[in-house]
Every structure is written in structure tokens, then in C-alpha cells.
Structure 1
Amino acid sequence: MAGKKRSTPPSPSARNQEEDLEDEDDVPLDRILQRRRLAAKTSPKQTNGARTAVTATTAKVSPLIEVAERCIIEFLPVVPNRLRVEVVCRRWRRLIREELPVTELDFSHVTVRPLLRRDVSAMLGRASQQLTRLVLPDITLVDAHIELIVQQQNLRVFRAHRMQKKHIFNILKNCPNLKTLELLDCRALTFSGWPRDAVALRKVFLNGCNFVTNQAASSLITVCGDTLEKIIFTEATSLDSQIFRDLARHARRLEELTINDCTSVRLRDFQALTEALWSSLRWLDLASCRGISSFPDATSLPQLQVLILDKTKINDDGLRGISQVATSLRYLSLQDCRAISDDGVAALATSDVSDGCTSLELVDLKGTPVTDASLRALEARCPRLHLVRVDSCRSVSRKMRSKHNERARRILAGGNLSKCERIFAERKKIEMIDPNKSSSESHESENDQEEDDDYAIEARRSGASYRRRR
């Protein structure tokens, strides 16, 4: 009819909604399920759109499992653990290679194997010039390795074994931020000089440098100058005390000095060293420098805390000199010093011009001819004394040896060690790994040998990483 609005039939979806709103008590279950299946089929586009949104969200936010895996991987050392776990699956390989930066590489505890050289190249390439510390394994380095190393412009610490001179000089010239250089087993390495355009180092460690001459050492000290804080020469059979004068002239900020097996040491050169470095020297190790029989006593050494004079010819007058100038001394090692006696050891804690070495915490008298009188004098005058090592001291009573050996066991078994106790523990480990480090090792008493047996297994597990330590 005219004038009447034409009614529009309801859409199927509206009808479905109306039907759903009806009381479903009288509707069969099959029909209800059929309606729901039809409703699901009529909106596929909406469902696909929701799935796309979920996928987009997943792409932006990593799954919880990846977050957990990344946290676990970050706890693993870069080598060798990350090299091993990255072969588990592609996801772990992607996490390790793309999202975890490599700033330190330490191969010192990696077992030497044929593929190790390839692993070194792979990890150096993966560092992307962000490396700050590199400790290489005992492998022969080739030119390809050196090319990757010199690209690490942020490198600060470098340690390697048996390197060639051209490779060392290349690194010294091209790594401007290098501060610490450690070269192990460089017995076949000959130096006639140090490159003038080399970076100024703070710490230098040359192990087995029996071919390094005075000229080479002098040029090294001249180039590094006042930036030099620590220098270590072991098995330095080609050096003499001229190096003391070079250090006194150029390295006025030197804090730690270790020179072992030096052939000739003149007292006047030693005196020049102490006069120049009196305000900075904290550590002095002159073990096996057979020319030392006395100690310069004209200049006080207020910062000196560690003094090692093993296998020297130091005598009682030298010990009296030490008591006058090294009043802050905490660790003193006199292993196999046969020229000392009870009078000299007792004089350590007393002096006519100073308070003596009353701050001593640990004294190593292994292989010396002292008696119980020395130990009683030290215990009475040094209130901070923890241990007096008396291995192979045949004149010390069995009771006194047992007492101090028990203290040594407690120190070696303890976890929270002081600085002096850590020095003692590390040196003990070196002796257990290489008994030739101490000539008195084969003359120990039964009690001393039992102490070593208790500690031998743990020391050997620690491995050769302690060989380079003091």
C-alpha cells in the first residue's frame, strides 16, 4: 500500500542472534552445535585478522623461553661453553652470535685440541672489534691470527705463549689502548730493542726471558716510562743490575718489580733503585739473584709490603737493614737462604732506628738453618703474625713444625684469605706442580711431606694457570 514503509527482512546474522536469545531449553543439542559451527564459518576474516595481530605482537616481544635461555647463556663463559652450546639448535646459535657481545676471550682453561686454532679465529672474528681482554691458549699463532688481533682497537690485556718477535711488535704498534702484555714461554725469543713507536704499557710480564739483554730491557723501560706500574722478568739470566738504574731513571711510578735469576747485582745499583722508588714500591721479588747479600738501608720504603729474597745470599746484616727501612712489611720470604741465623730473624722485629717489621703477617723460612728461637721471637714481637713456614728446617723442633704446619693446612683449606695468605697459597700450588721450583723440596721431613700430600691433588687440579703467577 502507498504510504506504508516496506519492512526489511532481518539479516541472517540478526536472525541467528535472535535465535540465540531465545530460550534454548526446547532446542535439540545437535541444532545448537550446528548453529555455532555456522557462526564460526561466517567470520573467517575476523579470525585471520586476530591471528595476524598476535603474530605481529610476537615478532616485537621475544617469547618467554628465549628470555630465559638468553639469561642462562649469559652466565656461560664465552669459551669453551658457548662454543659447545651453540651447536644444540639454531635458536641458540642465533642468540649467541647476534645478541651476546664478546668483550673478553679467555682460552687458558680450554683443552688443547686440533680444532682449537680454528676456534680462536672464529671467536676473534665474532668479537667485532669490541674485545678488551684476550688470553690465548698454548698454540702457534700465524699471520691470520695477528691480523684479527690488531683489529681489536679496544684491547687492553693480552696474554699469549711462544710468540714471534714480529707478531709482538705488530700488536704493540697497532693496539693503542693496550695496557698489559704477558708473554709466556719466551725462551727462544731474542730482543735487541723495543720499538720506539710501541704503545706505553702499564704492566709487562716476560716468562723465561733468558735471551732478553740489558739493551732490550732498557729500551722497553724507556718507551713505557712513567706509565710503567708493574714489570716481571723470570729466568732473566742475561740481565744484571744495570736494569735497576734504568728503572730508577725512567719508571718513577713502579709499584711491583720481579726479577728472577739475575746474574749480577751490585749494591750501589740496588741502592739507586730504592732511592728513586721509595714512595711507590709495594712489591719486590728478587728470588735467585745470587749476588744479593745485603739490603740497602739508607732510604726508607714505607709502601713496601711484599719482599721475596728466596735463594739469595742475604745474611743477618741484610735482615737488620730490612728491619730499618721496611716497617710496613707484611710478607717476607727467605726460602733456602742459608746465610741467615736466629740473630738476623730476631732482629727483623726490632731496630735501633725504627719499630722494626712488626706488621709481618707471614714469614717463609723454608729450608733455612733457624731454630725455635726465631719463631718465638717473631711470635712475641709481631702481633699480626699468622704463619711462619718452617718446611725442611731441621733445627726446628717437631712440636713447632707440627704447630705451624697445622696453621698452613687451615690457610690452604680456607676460602676467605687475606692478601698474604693468597700469595702463600699460590706459591704453594706452584711448588706442587713443579717441585724443581724449590731445591729443598726433596729434603722435607715426614710431617712436611704429609702436608704436601694433603694439598697435592687440589693444587694439580688448579693446573698450569698458576705457573705465571707469583
Structure 2
Amino acid sequence: MSAAPSGGGGALINEVLTDDELRAVLTRLGPEAERDAFGLVCRRWLRIQSSERRRLRARAGPDMLRRLAARFPGALELDLSQSPSRSFYPGVIDDDLDVIAGSFRNLRVLALQNCKGISDVGVAKLGDGMPSLQSLDVSRCIKLSDKGLKAVALGCQRLRQLHITGCRLITDNLLIALSKSCLQLENLGAAGCNGITDAGISALADGCHHIKFLDISKCNKVGDPGVCKIAEVSSSHLVSIKLLDCSKVGDKSIYSLAKCCSNLETLVIGGCRNISDAPIQALALACSSSLRSLRMDWCLKITDTSLRSLLSNCKLLVAIDVGCCDQITDVAFQDGEGNGFQGELKVLKISSCVRLTVAGVSSVIKSFKALEYLDVRSCPQVTRDSCEQAGVQFPSACKVNFYGSLLESDPSAERFF
């Protein structure tokens, strides 16, 4: 590409502009297509574009990974995640991780979800060769155990995010290693790691004092002692904790969260059947200016008292799930405007609340004008026909889910939880 000649000649752009000036041009390009087109001009522009590339998404293969490392020396994020329903096997393997550890030493973020072909041998290489790593996702890498990830904890002491969801061989030993080496850890996703206990969560809290996001859903050996310790230590830092189906979690955990974690935004306690109204009321008051989403489906002791307190006090609440809480009735939503219910609620899941009637749904519509999703599946007294007969007018922007299996989830609602 050259500048338009004036008279008999003109200057070539590549002779006038320095590499730094071309990089400045590149940074001002918005859409990815424009940035890709930049590299098509000539080899020099392609080299500059490649050196500025920070994110890569690729498939497996040592040779390809070496070429990527050579072409994109400035890459900070690499995504090799596989689809759960991938059609090729084995996909990413330990040899690939060996190349990554040796060729992408400045990498900050590495995603390896569903890479079922990798083992402790390959992951240990990451700990040896990637001291700058800050985020690692090995969710559903089913061969991994404490051994490989302890090597990561020891070698990657700047780690802030670790996702090990579905890695069922993980035990408290990894959490102990994290507490000793990764003191900056903020985000731990360990849903389904059934080997984790209260002792491991307590050990994690001893060393990692800045946990912001913790997901230990379906860790059924974790109960009040571990949750209370995290709440006390992380206190103002904790903004999201997910405890889905942690059957040992009870009132003590919620009281501790209410007492210590005034900045809590997301709480998932679905399936924690021993939680009662009183601690939820305490939480509603303590987190009135922070709580945004709360999932407490199958909390069978929850009544209208809890729900009214949440809706009245939590000013920022946008999503709540009380599905299968069979003590919820129309009373929870009656006279909403008169009782100061907030109008910003976007998602309300009241599926299988068998005592609810059309009158309750009508109160919901009147109180929450911003509602975008309403789940009334398996509410025997609330059907499409009964709502039409009663003249209920749903907002045009509100999706109402009347039918379908409770096992099916809707992405428009689940993103809040």
C-alpha cells in the first residue's frame, strides 16, 4: 500500500511510518474483521498484527502450537477447550501441554475445559514452565488429581483463578497447597469435587484471604464449619458463593454470611434443605444494598416471610429462584407496591410452588414492571388458560414459562445464577 503520488512521485507508507506508529493505527481498529484485514496489507503489517495479538483459540497439535507461539509472541490468553460432545479423540494431550509450557511462558490465561486426554504428567509441566499464569480452567478434565495441580500451585504463585469443576479426584490436599502458595487466589470453581471437606475449605481460608468467587456446589462433605470460616476470613471481599446441593449447609452458614459479607451479590443455596426463614431475613437486611441474585429452590423450610423480606429490603435484587418451595403462597407477593417491593426484579422462578394461584401471579406483574422471565412450570393452579381467563396481562418483554420439564434450564435465566 502506498500514499497517493503527487506529481511524479510519492512516499510509500512503509517508508514513512514506524512500527510504533503502525501499532497505534492497529489499536484504533475496532471490529476483529478490521484488525484481520490490517494483516493482509503486507508481511510487515502481518508481523505487527501478529505481535499485538493477545488472545488465541486453537485445537490440539504440538506442531501447530509451536507455529502459533512463534507467530504470536505477545499472546497472553490461550483457549484449547473442547466441546463435551467433541467428535475427535484424544484431543489435547500431555504433549501439547509440554509445548505450551515451553513456548508460551508469558501466558496469563489458559483454558482447557473438557480436555479429557490430559493427565497429571502434562499439567505438572505447566507448573514448571509458566510462572506468570494467573488463570487456569481444567474443568471436567477427569484424569487430573491433586498431584498435577499441586505442581501448578507451587509453580504458578500468581494464580488468581482456578476452575476444577467436575475433577472428582481432587481432595483437600490441593486446597492446602493453594493456601500455602497461591495467596492471591480470588476465584475458585470446584463444583462436584466430592473429595473436598470442611477441613480443606478451612485450610484454603487460612492462606487465601481474598476469595471473591467460590463455587463448591455439590461438594456434599462441606457444611457450616467450612462456609463460616470462608465468610469470616474473606468478609468484605466475597461477592459470590455457590453451595448448590450442599446438604450439610444450614442456618449457621447464612447467619455468618449475613454478619461478615455485606458486599455479597450472588448466593446459591438450592437444595440446602435445612435453611429456615430467620437467617434469610438477617441476610436480606445485612446485604440490602448488594444482593443481586439468590437461588434457594428446594429450601423446603422457606416461607412467605423470607421472600417478602428479600423483595422489600434488597434494592438491587434482579433474580430469585424459590422453585419447589412448597410453603410459598400468594401472600408473598400481595400488596407489593404498598410494602415497598423493589421494581428492578428481572427473573422470578416460582416453579412447582403448588400453593400459588393466578392471584399471586397477578400481584407479581403489578409489582415488578421490569420482569423479563417468569417460571411457573408445575404450578397446578397457574396455567396459560387460567391466566387468560383471569385477564392477566404479562409485559410484552416478559417470557413466561408455563410448560416443560423442571430438569430443563433456560439460559436467559440461568446466567443470573
User: Would you call these one fold, judging by a TM-score over 0.5?
Assistant: yes
Normalization by structure 1: what TM-score?
A: 0.64
Q: 1:316 aligns with which of 277, 280, 295?
A: 277
Name the SS for the 1:337 alignment partner: coil
Structure-2 residue corresponding to 1:25: none
Structure-2 residue corresponding to 1:248: 205
**Letter aligned with residue 187 of structure 2:** K
Q: Deviations over 1:69-112 (max 9, x none)?
A: x979965649xx95xx89xxx955736642312532342xx8x7
Q: 2:126 aligns with which of 171, 178, 182?
A: 171
What is the alpha-carbon distance in structure 1 between the residues aligned to residue 42 and residue 410 of structure 2? 35
Number of aligned positions between the proteins: 362
Name the SS for the 2:262 alignment partner: coil
What is the alpha-carbon distance in structure 2 between the residues aligned to residue 408 and residue 203 of structure 1? 37
Q: Pick closer, same or farther for the CA change 1:373–1:269 going to 2, 3 Å.
A: same
Normalization by structure 2: what TM-score?
A: 0.71
**Letter aligned with residue 126 of structure 1:** R
Q: Which range moved further: 326-335 or 374-383?
A: 374-383
Structure-1 residue corresponding to 2:234: 277
| Counterparts of residues 195-206 of structure 1 (less than 5 Å) | 195=151, 197-200=154-157, 201-206=159-164
Q: Is the 8 A contact 1:182 1:204 kept in 2?
A: yes
Structure-2 residue corresponding to 1:326: 287
Q: Is the 8 A contact 2:330 2:359 kept in 1?
A: no
What is the alpha-carbon distance in structure 1 between the residues aligned to residue 28 and residue 317 of structure 2? 45
**Letter aligned with residue 133 of structure 1:** E
| Counterparts of residues 110-149 of structure 1 (less than 5 Å) | 120-128=65-73, 130-138=74-82, 139-144=91-96, 146-149=98-101
Structure-1 residue corresponding to 2:150: 194
| Counterparts of residues 198-217 of structure 1 (less than 5 Å) | 198-200=155-157, 201-217=159-175
What is the alpha-carbon distance in structure 2 between the residues aligned to residue 230 and residue 72 of structure 1? 30
Q: Pick closer, same or farther for the CA change 1:154–1:384 going to 2, 3 Å.
A: farther
Q: Pick closer, same or farther for the CA change 1:176–1:253 going to 2, 3 Å.
A: same
**Letter aligned with residue 345 of structure 2:** H
Q: Larger Rg: 1 or 2?
A: 1
How much does 1:365 deviate?
1.6
Structure-2 residue corresponding to 1:218: 176
**Letter aligned with residue 276 of structure 2:** N
Q: Is the 8 A contact 1:391 1:401 kept in 2?
A: no
Structure-2 residue corresponding to 1:383: 342
What is the alpha-carbon distance in structure 1 between the residues aligned to residue 41 and residue 12 of structure 2? 22
What is the alpha-carbon distance in structure 1 between the residues aligned to residue 122 and residue 298 of structure 2? 39
Q: 1:103 aligns with which of 44, 53, 61?
A: 53
Structure-2 residue corresponding to 1:289: 246
Q: Is the 8 A contact 1:164 1:189 kept in 2?
A: yes
Give the unaligned 5+ runs of structure 1. Answer: 1-49, 351-355, 413-423, 429-439, 461-465
Q: Pick closer, same or farther for the CA change 1:295–1:441 going to 2, 3 Å.
A: farther
Q: Pick closer, same or farther for the CA change 1:324–1:123 going to 2, 3 Å.
A: same
What is the alpha-carbon distance in structure 2 between the residues aligned to residue 408 and residue 235 of structure 1? 37
What is the alpha-carbon distance in structure 1 between the residues aligned to residue 316 and residue 28 of structure 2? 46
Q: Deviations over 1:206-247 (max 9, x none)?
A: 12122211112221232212x111111111222122233113
Structure-1 residue corresponding to 2:111: 159
| Counterparts of residues 344-383 of structure 1 (less than 5 Å) | 344-348=306-310, 357=314, 359-369=316-326, 370-376=328-334, 380-383=339-342
How much does 1:271 deviate?
2.5
Give the unaligned 5+ runs of structure 2. Answer: 83-90, 385-399
Q: Pick closer, same or farther for the CA change 1:181–1:132 going to 2, 3 Å.
A: same
What is the alpha-carbon distance in structure 2 between the residues aligned to residue 146 and residue 450 of structure 1? 51
Q: Which range moved further: 198-207 or 339-348?
A: 339-348
Structure-1 residue corresponding to 2:215: 258
Matched, 1:339 2:301: yes
RMSD over aligned Cα, in angstroms?
Answer: 4.3
How much does 1:150 deviate?
3.4
Structure-2 residue corresponding to 1:60: 15
Q: 1:304 aligns with which of 257, 264, 269?
A: 264
Q: Deviations over 1:253-288 (max 9, x none)?
A: 112211111112342333232222222212111111
Identity %: 16
Name the one with the larger helix percent: 1
Q: Pick closer, same or farther for the CA change 1:359–1:127 going to 2, 3 Å.
A: closer
What is the alpha-carbon distance in structure 2 between the residues aligned to residue 383 and residue 183 of structure 1? 40
What is the alpha-carbon distance in structure 1 between the residues aligned to residue 77 and residue 181 of structure 2? 22
How much does 1:377 deviate?
7.4
**Letter aligned with residue 168 of structure 1:** V
How much does 1:151 deviate?
2.5
**Letter aligned with residue 194 of structure 1:** K
Q: Deviations over 1:348-385 (max 9, x none)?
A: 468xxxxx645534322223221121234776244354
